[in-house]
Structure 1
Amino acid sequence: MTDTAPQHIHSRDNALLKDLRRLAQDSHAYRKQGRIWLEGDHLCRAALQRGLQPSHAVFQASYFGTAGHQWADAAGKVVTIEDGLFATVSALESPGRMAFVLPLPPQPALQPDAPTVILDGLQDAGNVGAILRSAGAFGFPQVLAMKGTAALWSPKVLRAGMGAHFGLRLVEGLEPQRLDGLQVPLLATSSHQGDYLHRAALPWPCAWVLGHEGQGVGAVLSARATQFVRIVQPGGEESLNVAAAAAICLHASAAAHAR
């Protein structure tokens, strides 16, 4: 239940508005503030379905007046923002009209035997979010992001993840030696070496290593891989988008395990 009447913000100099703007627009602000920004009703519903409790529910003023009251009991504090000011907070071309602010989940311990996805320096937020969705869909509950990978809890990655974050064990900022704790084999994607995926014997559980969009898996993690896998491409393209490759590989593992 809400603990006070809604707070209405009508000044661009409001301190809370400035904090929310940084949270929504700066991909690393969540680390400084210890909280995350979820914009749009789909993400907000996904959080509630997982039992998460937002500290703030933030609304475009006109939206709160027509539909926002259905969300009023979801958060500890309700904040409404003048429509024009809400647009200055949002980083979206079409502002989402509402958002939640949630405490940043504590970073979990690495689970040694979990089916895992390892992100090695991926930079594109859309790719990272899409891979998180595939990880959740295909039974890989742990995602490890190496240092240099796009910030997992940034607004853009959260938006692309479409709620997948809340069902995954996410560990970020890892150095390679942290992977010593894994007890599952590492499978590295490659465009030029290894077994073709449709012929490969895929271990379960395992950890799939997915590399930088341009450079692929780095030398350090390549040296740790127990198996390299490539995807047959009869159409002749040089390479696949990393998120597409991830979906194909994770599905292949899930299908092999289900047999």
Structure 2
Amino acid sequence: MDVPRFEPVRRPQGPIVSTRNPLVREFTSLHDARGRRESGLVLIEGPTLVAEAVAAGMTIEVACSTDPDRWPDAVEVADRVLARMSTTTTPNEVVVAARRPEEALDHEGKDLLVLVGVADPGNVGALIPSAAAFGFGVRLVGGSDPWSPKALRAAAGGHFHTTLRSGGTLDLQEFHTRGFVTVATVARDGRSSIPSGGHVALLVGSEAHGLPEDAVGDAMRRLTIPTTGIESLNASVAGSVAMYERARTR
């Protein structure tokens, strides 16, 4: 792949060979939600995701690489330093700390995937590219941080191809006022079809407990995906199947 050029906000003096360097602590703080929240930065790992982030116009605060010839805009670091900065067991050449993008206040007329308390970052990440592929924006209420390293890896660049908004509380009246048909995914006793017209807000709940009872009760429709041999699907599979069906009949 072609390596993108970018202008980082900061470029400390390299090479960095000590894992005690302050920049290492800055990167490791981004492994945790608190560090990301306090700094406003997110950790992007590996050439493919870094290229996607640059193409999407993310502000690169600082970049580090073990291959300065291939990544001339990054600070050179030793292999053991990159390993400490990264969250993966086999670090891949480059990591960057990037400014977290402004979140969408609206979703540009898209249908919405509303994730309520989905705690597994792998499921959150897997649903984001599905939303992008099927024309949905993503709204997150509680649950996992969509900008965690695991969610970013699972999404494989999906963050940069749809709209995201996280935080706040679940208020179905907000969606109803804006003209959305709210559809709650439930394990049983729902319809097997999804509305084909208008705009839909598709609600997907946590892996362990599903949607809150009041959300199911207040939703305009309930959707159950027919299955054979198992009682229910996990959040990422159920959400993706439902979004595909909506896109197919939209």
Q: TM-score, structure 1 length as denominator?
A: 0.85
SS at match of 1:144: strand
Q: Select 1:47's aligned residue among 53, 76, 91.
A: 53
Q: d(CA) in 2 for partners of 1:6 and 1:165?
A: 31
1:123 is paired with a residue whose SS is coil
Matches of 2:123 and 2:173, distance apart in 1: 22
Q: Deviations over 1:124-150 (max 9, x none)?
A: 01100000010001011x21111x210
Task: Name the structure 2 match of 1:58.
Answer: 64
Q: Are the equivalent residues in 2 in contact too, given 1:144–1:174 (CA < 8 A)?
A: no
- Which of 22, 34, 39 pairs up with 1:15? 22
Q: Per-residue CA shift, 1:141-184, capped at 9, x if unaligned? A: x21111x2101111111111111111222111121238615421
Aligned length: 241
Give the SS at the match of 1:48.
helix
- Equivalent residue for 1:90? 86
Residue aligning to 1:239:
232
Distance 2:135 2:231 in 1: 29
The within-5 A match list for 1:108-257 is: 108-111=104-107, 113-140=109-136, 142-146=137-141, 148-177=142-171, 180=174, 182-197=178-193, 200-234=194-228, 236-257=229-250
What residue identity is the alignment partner of 1:145? L
Letter in 2 for 1:71: W
Distance 2:233 2:225 in 1: 9
Distance 2:172 2:242 in 1: 24
Give the superposed CA RMSD: 2.1
Q: Quick one: structure 1 residues 118 and 2, their matched pair in 2 at CA, closer, same or farther if it must change by over 3 Å?
A: closer
- Distance (whole Å) between structure 2 residues aligned to residue 238 and residue 14 of structure 1: 51
Unaligned runs of 5+ in 1: none
Query: % of aligned pairs identical?
Result: 27
- Cα separation, partners in 2 of 1:50 and 1:128, compared to 1, 3 Å: same
- The TM-score normalised by the length of structure 2 is 0.88
CA contact (8 A) 2:110 2:135 kept: no
CA 185–112 in structure 1, closer or farther in 2 if over 3 Å, else same: farther
Partner of 2:35: 29
Measure, in 2, the Cα distance between the counterparts of 1:100 and 1:118: 29
Query: What does residue 69 of structure 2 align with?
Result: 69
From the two aligned structures, give the one with the greater helix fraction. Answer: 1
Which runs of no fewer than 5 residues in structure 2 stay unpaired?
Answer: 1-5
- Distance (Å, rounded) in 1 between the aligned partners of 2:34 and 2:124: 15
